[in-house]
Amino acid sequence: FSTSARQVRGPSGERLGAALAYQEITELMRAIQVQDEFVSSVSHELRTPLTSVLGHLEMLADEEHPPGVEAQLRVVQRNASRLAALVTDLLLVAQVGEHGLRLQARSVDLSAVVRECVLAARPDADKAQVDLAVLLPDRLVTVVDEQRIRQVLDNLVSNAVKYSPEGGSATITLRDLGETVELSVTDTGIGIAPDDVERVFTRFFRGGHALDQHIPGTGLGLNIVSSIVAAHGGTVSLDSEVGVGSTFRVTLPHRPAAGD
Ligand code: ADP
């Protein structure tokens, strides 16, 4: 059961008593647990055959093929990789639901991580004709789970590219605020409607714009971002205006380097 209570007051503010509400949430919790278990077992089942498909594709890539076959193989490879990325995301989401995220935290130079993530995002950004800019200190060392923070950056930067029209731009900024470090990604993209701002972080949520414009996605990226940031004891906030752009701001505790 969940319980909540509030005071009941008369027209001139006098106390009349208290209202107590009991709500049965066991069923709801059970339904969420069943969903997590289902997502987890389906993802595990999908992973094995997918790994085999990707392995065989890699072997085929080493062989000579007629030009037409080569192009088709690339399409298969690209889609199999997308599926593999989806399965990885689903496994992470299920892990968060089942027993929380386990972090492997160590001292990391966040400036270097941001540089590498932006470099990796450049080919897609160039293809989409979206300019990427970075504002970084030379070095910013703090204790985080590097792989997870890379996921945060990859999701935010790829969204900035994906949801920006041609000719748009995205700026990735990293700042040392003393007690915290702030990582923000600002884009000049399609923006997010006020009603959707809270909902974009929920699992499987996709905005109307994304669906109307057939922009590919799964609705898992920002949910993963918020889980990873929460596991680090940080916060993520969003400012957005439709037709103008969005800023996602991640704040993480600035932990001194291990061994200092
Ligand atoms: P996906 O991009 O796969 O749909 P996300 O969880 O990353 O999933 O994002 C959820 C939704 O939030 C998107 O479908 C889109 O509507 C909206 N969104 C996320 N990032 C941006 C952005 N930078 N600009 C505009 N809309 C965005």
If you write DSSP's letter for every residue of 4-45 in order, what string do you get?
EEEEEE-TTS-EEEEEEEEE--HHHHHHHHHHHHHHHHHHHH
| Global confidence as pTM | 0.84
Which residues have CB under 6 Å of ligand 1? 155, 159-160, 163, 187, 189-192, 200, 205-207, 209-210, 217-223, 246
Q: Sort 205 into a burial class: Cβ within 10 Å, 0-12 / 13-18 / 19+.
A: middle
| Residues 250/183, Cβ–Cβ less than 8 Å | yes
Asked whether this complex has an ipTM greater than 0.90, the answer is yes
Cα(105) to ligand 1 centroid in Å equals 27
Residue-level pLDDT at 1: 66
Where do we find the tokens 């000719």? Answer: 167
| Residues 101/228, Cβ–Cβ less than 8 Å | yes
Q: Using DSSP, state whether 2 is helix, strand or coil.
A: strand
pLDDT in tens, 40-90: 889 889 999 999 999 999 999 888 888 889 889 999 999 999 899 899 999
pLDDT in tens, 209-256: 899 889 989 999 999 999 999 999 999 999 999 999 999 999 999 998
Q: State which of 159, 199, 203, 244 you would mutate to test the pocket of ligand 1, scoring each by most atoms of that ligand within 8 A of its C-beta.
A: 159
Cα(219) to ligand 1 centroid in Å equals 7
Residue-level pLDDT at 26: 80
